[in-house]
Chain A
């Protein structure tokens, strides 16, 4: 079932179009990979989904439907209830998305509190439980840490854990693994897959064709704010029609490790 659908979306910054005629959909239980070079509009599109474009940004045309309802017509208050709880988001540098001078635990509690009545004790128990499931070395210590005391990888994992606590229907992952070393990257991906297994659909914005090949069902290729190709991962990655897609895949394949993954016909 279609859970998110963008139809002919145009996004502008200070009146200048940065993404045009963007149409795609995300089904329940699906992982959609969004690829393209830097500045192609990948992050802009997913920010637009939750109404978090930077100042000067606006969606000028089209519709963004979540469960059939146009998010562009929602009030800020309605959007607030959707953000985090219904549509979660993890960005490239999760450490900067937490307030640096407040403890991780306080910010997790604050987030859970924003979406329902919960005591701090309950929030902590639930969080430590998830930390435990994700094999965090010392969950209690992470709860009591400040973001700057944790590594980049650990901050990403905390962000995934927080998404798991909220169990969103959709997770927007904005280059969540781009800044990580290989070990942390694999950890975060495997945790994202756990979230996916819990029933969350994922939009995975990345530069990394390998990851797309490994975990995505569908792929959207962007260049200069325009869609180049959109279809099943298998089709786009192994039988690209568009010149740019061919070029992009060719470039990244040279660095590729294995052929393992969904697109190659393997199970994750």
Chain B
């Protein structure tokens, strides 16, 4: 508990640093929302009008003042309004979250059920036909870019077999299938190699032979000992993926018109919509810190060596 609180308190300086940096970097980008709007619409406006528009949004003030005022509003629970849509930032963000969460859960679930069994089979039957076949598939999966997989899936599953819609009109199980499968194929291809390597490493340990010498079934050793030992590595990998998936997957979201935070972030960056970008950056920081914390806590749960060592230091 003490550990968890300590880690959550550690989030404060991280958030301050990261929002400050992103605030600074966006200003270094050279243009702002007013100029972008002008550029996009092709309107010609006078310098005075431009300055007035900037002043209205407070963009004429020094950078540090802008940051201070943004931070002050944030501390009062106000994340501001989008420069582009004029909508409340928090509301627009929350609006996009369900789609992202749904896609994350679906694709991680698919990845787990594909990569873990295949990785284990590949390791247990090392250098046998199953291993070669699985590794070949993994190689193919790794080599195909997401956009290509999306197009192939669209062609086969949507156009030919008519199983799933090409463009998602709503957040449903049917519409999440295609983007989730696309993401899961790439992740599974990567993961199953990791799972295979981890399981192989565990299978080489003395305790496998020890359990065998005691007459314990291999399947029991595999499930109770090997899998538990491998979970630490698998969870680390999954946590990193969950982090990046929660941050949105711009390409896949764009291809399938999946209205998640990835698309929101890319649009905001293109338009220099600072309040939205700041919210996105904070969201990412919170995700990574939380995911890392959950991962560390799970290590302690899974590996008594870590748990007892940490307990001894506390």
Q: Which residues of A contact B (CB under 8 A)?
A: 50, 52, 54, 80-85, 88-89, 91, 93-94, 96-102, 106-107, 110-111, 114-115, 146, 148-149, 162, 166
**B305 within 8 Å of A by Cβ?**
yes
**Contact flag A99-B211 (CB < 8 Å), given A114-B216, A114-B217:** yes
> Once the chains bind, are A89 and B304 in contact (CB under 8 Å)?
no
> Once the chains bind, are B215 and A83 in contact (CB under 8 Å)?
yes
**B128 within 8 Å of A by Cβ?**
no
Selected A-B contacts with CB under 8 Å, 15 pairs: A80-B212, A80-B215, A81-B215, A84-B214, A97-B206, A98-B207, A99-B207, A99-B229, A102-B224, A111-B211, A111-B215, A114-B215, A114-B220, A115-B215, A149-B308
**Contact flag A83-B213 (CB < 8 Å), given A93-B206, A102-B228:** yes
Residue of A nearest to B215 (CB): A84
The interface residues of chain A lying within 8 Å CB-to-CB of B211 are: 97, 99, 107, 110-111
From A93, A94, A97, residue with most partner B Cβ within 10 Å: A97
> Once the chains bind, are A146 and B304 in contact (CB under 8 Å)?
yes
**Contact flag A99-B308 (CB < 8 Å), given A83-B214, A110-B216:** no
The interface residues of chain B lying within 8 Å CB-to-CB of A91 are: 206, 210, 213
Bound CA span A99–B304, Å = 11
Bound CA span A107–B214, Å = 10
The interface residues of chain B lying within 8 Å CB-to-CB of A88 are: 213-214
Bound CA span A149–B308, Å = 9
Bound CA span A93–B209, Å = 12
3 cross-chain pairs, A with B, having the tightest CB-CB distances, nearest first: A97-B210, A84-B215, A99-B225
**B205 within 8 Å of A by Cβ?**
yes
> Once the chains bind, are B207 and A84 in contact (CB under 8 Å)?
no
Bound CA span A130–B201, Å = 34
From B211, B214, B302, B308, residue with most partner A Cβ within 10 Å: B214
From B303, B304, B308, residue with most partner A Cβ within 10 Å: B304
Return the contact of A110 from the options B205, B209, B224, B303 (Cβ within 8 A). B224
**In angstroms, how far is the closest chain A Cβ from the Cβ of B201?**
13
Bound CA span A149–B212, Å = 23
The interface residues of chain A lying within 8 Å CB-to-CB of B217 are: 80, 114
> Once the chains bind, are B303 and A52 in contact (CB under 8 Å)?
no
> Once the chains bind, are A101 and B212 in contact (CB under 8 Å)?
no
The interface residues of chain A lying within 8 Å CB-to-CB of B213 are: 50, 52, 83-84, 88-89, 91, 97
Return the contact of B210 from the options A80, A98, A101, A166 (Cβ within 8 A). A98
The interface residues of chain B lying within 8 Å CB-to-CB of A52 are: 209, 212-213
> Once the chains bind, are B214 and A148 in contact (CB under 8 Å)?
no
Bound CA span A88–B220, Å = 19
Bound CA span A44–B120, Å = 29
Bound CA span A102–B228, Å = 9
- Per the 8 Å Cβ criterion, residues 118-150 of B in contact with A are none
> Once the chains bind, are B303 and A111 in contact (CB under 8 Å)?
no
> Once the chains bind, are B220 and A101 in contact (CB under 8 Å)?
no
From B207, B305, B308, residue with most partner A Cβ within 10 Å: B207
Bound CA span A54–B208, Å = 11
Return the contact of B214 from the options A93, A96, A102, A111 (Cβ within 8 A). A111
Return the contact of A101 from the options B206, B215, B216, B229 (Cβ within 8 A). B229
**In angstroms, how far is the closest chain A Cβ from the Cβ of B299?**
11
**In angstroms, how far is the closest chain A Cβ from the Cβ of B244?**
29
**In angstroms, how far is the closest chain A Cβ from the Cβ of B221?**
8
Bound CA span A84–B303, Å = 27
